[in-house]
Amino acid sequence: MHVFAITPVEAAAWAAASLLLVIALVAVPVLFRRGTLLRRRVDALEAHRPAGEADVAALRTEIAQALRHVAVVRYDAFGDMGGRLSFSAAVVDDRGDGLVISSIHARGESRTYAKGVVGGGSDATLTPEEQQALAAARTGKDHP
């Protein structure tokens, strides 16, 4: 049997090399698994990326066509009636397309009218209250 004599420096070098080999054998699979998990997370994030320029432009076009500008004007349609039970409501999109609905309340009856609006105007004659509601809806400000 042969016995090899090594110096303490050589023993330390062999121990360090053996330790590095064990660490490498353990660390490589762990790092590979972490890399795989990170790749999956990156793929998931890329799939849920924020909207691009074309998506934003399409959304803006759709929002512009939404009937989202609303104003209501309440008033007394007849001098002998109080309580401002009559009203005109305008509902339009960004281009001023939509409708005006008016309800006229009297003692014995109520009547409701709807008038289409295109580009901020109507083929039907608008009452002053309907014009006021339409102007308020288009500008976002109350008009006396």
Which of 118, 77, 78 shows the shortest CA–CA distance to 99?
Answer: 118
- Residue 97 lies in domain: 67-139
Q: Are 71 and 35 part of one and the same domain?
A: no
The predicted-structure confidence for 90-140, as pLDDT tens digits, reads as follows 999 889 999 999 999 888 888 999 999 999 999 999 999 999 999 999 998
Evaluated on CA atoms 34, 39, 40, 46, the torsion sign reads positive
Global pTM value: 0.61
Is 56 among the domain residues?
A: no
Is 99 among the domain residues?
A: yes
Number of domains in the chain: 2
